[in-house]
Amino acid sequence: MTRAVAAGLLLLLAVACTTPEPPRAQAGAPENTACGPPQGPPRERTPATIDVVEQAYFCILAKYWRAPAMDHRDLLVAGFAALTGALPEAPLELPALTGDRRGDWAAFEAAYRKITDRADLAEVTLDAMVAALDDNHARWVRDAGRPPGYYDGDGYGLGFQVSDGDPLFVSEVEGGAARRAGLRPGDVIENVDDPEVLRPRYPDAAPVELRLRRGDRRWSVTLTPGLYPRDLATLQTVRSRLIDDEVIYVRMRGFSPDAANRAFRAITRLRAGRDVRGIVLDLRGNGGGSPVEATRLVSAFTHGKVTSYLCTVDDRCEPGQTDDTVELVGLPLVVLVDRGCASACEHFSSAVKDHSAGLLVGTRTAGVISGPGHPFLLRDNTVLSFPTRRHLGPKREIVDRIGVSPHHFVPPTPEDAAAGRDAALATALTLLDRR
């Protein structure tokens, strides 16, 4: 939910805002394994087969950024291990792999076809291959991502946002099972080892049992994931208001298309006729989206700078530049960040920090920014998405898996959440007072 290398919002935004890439030649790959970007409207999905797995395998080896340095056998072993897990009774054996990408595939396929050609097992195999990349922007996108009856105002899950760090606690209640059970911000979750169980994605509808603490009270509750309507404030990508009639506050939940323009319009509207002393840009829980939108937003606070690098496995890097057609805002900036700030949000945050375009307040960002995802259409009309180049920060620093550290570390606490206090925002306002 809140966190993006693992969050539903991150998945939705990253897939929606992937960057198309023109096809390039795949040396040694037969025509039926070629892959390119989707063209035209989506087509109806057909059953997955071992041929789809083959296409995805050669697509990864031809276009994934790390493929020239990869051992392709890792993909095959991962896929076969998943297959044996799904068919524990089957006499499956993976032949010796020699290191030849095509020959090893032929051996893998022959072993697979001896046992099955079931579509669900092709899915299990391909899921495992993609997971073996261990890349937070690599995914296989099917049409099962939305439950029946879904509309764009719905959320899916347990109905609450969760903090990061220790202790784990409810940071926001959105609805659904959490609201029905009476959960409140600040309720401490005492029995969850892996926070990902609190962020279920459809169709995972397994109930989650929680042990909670609120002050001296302790109790247990079982929540079942499901659809729930979200209010308008939760749905809005960009929200804005004035604080004390002199600080512009802008909350951005994602870098969806036109998000930067919406932020600019909000700033212009709130600034008109006022002596404004600064801007607080709240990117907490921002799961990312379009790197183009992130670059345009950075460009309102600094010009003539490199915002990031996109690099091949042998460190041939192309710089991304600010868009200097964007008018500079000319106001002090404080950015609120947390572990839910991921992908394009980290693109923005690292550029702001590296170029001293503003101050970061909160906690370290997610470290979920391996590189922009590029979509490739498979023959069953599903989409395989992964980076063709990796992301580095403006100083060529590695942000992926590490995140961007704030200038001022202000972690959330359950006491503040329960009382409705926002310590990070209070710190931001104090910093603007000093400028």
**Does some domain include residue 411?**
yes
Listed residues 141, 176, 206: the one ending a domain: 141
Closest C-alpha to 311, from 225, 371, 373: 371
Same domain, 113 and 208: no
**What total number of domains does the chain contain?**
3
Residue 1: inside a domain, yes or no? Answer: no
Please report the pLDDT score of residue 367 as a whole number.
97
Identify whether 64 is part of a domain.
Answer: yes
Regarding whether 219 and 125 lie in a shared domain, the answer is: no
User: Is 241 found in the same domain as 196?
Assistant: no
pLDDT score at 204: 65
Is this structure's pTM higher than 0.85? Answer: yes
Query: pLDDT at position 148, please?
Result: 56
SS3 344: helix
Q: In the chain, which residues have pLDDT < 70?
A: 1-32, 117, 143-154, 202-204, 231-235
329: in domain: yes
Say yes or no: 214 and 257 in one domain.
Answer: no
Query: What is the DSSP secondary-structure string of 387-425?
Result: ESSEEE-TTS---TTT----SEE----HHHHHHT--HHH
Domain CATH code at residue 366: 3.90.226.10
- Measured in Å, how far apart are the chain's first and last C-alpha atoms? 35
Asked whether residue 314 is assigned to any structural domain, the reply reads yes
- φ, ψ for residue 87, nearest 5 deg: -125, 65
Same domain, 296 and 347: yes
The answer to whether residues 416 and 291 belong to one domain is yes
Residue that is last in its domain, among 198, 229, 260: 229
- Residue 146, in any domain of the structure: no
Residue 32: per-residue pLDDT: 61
**Residue listed under structure tokens 């396929």:** 109
* Separation of alpha carbons 240 and 262, rounded Å: 10
User: Which pLDDT belongs to residue 199?
Assistant: 81
Cβ–Cβ under 8 Å, residues 152 and 229: no
Return the pLDDT at 14.
Answer: 40
Helices (H), 272-378: 291-298, 344-354
pLDDT of residue 8: 41
Residues 192 and 159 in one domain: yes
The CATH code of the domain that includes 176 is: 2.30.42.10
Alpha-carbon distance of 329 to 323, in angstroms, equals: 13
Do strands 333-337 and 278-282 pair parallel, antiparallel, or not at all (unpaired)? Answer: parallel
- The residue segments making up the domain with residue 333 are 234-433
- For residues 68 and 34, state if they share a domain: yes
Whole-number pLDDT of residue 192: 84
Domain identity same for 131 and 224: no
Residue 255 lies in a domain: yes
Q: Same domain, yes or no, for 225 and 238?
A: no
Question: Please, is 221 exposed, middle or buried when counting C-beta atoms within 10 Å of its C-beta (0-12, 13-18, 19+)?
Answer: middle
Q: Do 389 and 363 share a structural domain?
A: yes
Residues 379 and 398 in one domain: yes
How far is Cα 108 from Cα 85, in angstroms, rounded to an integer?
A: 16
CA–CA gap between residue 250 and residue 263 (Å, rounded): 7
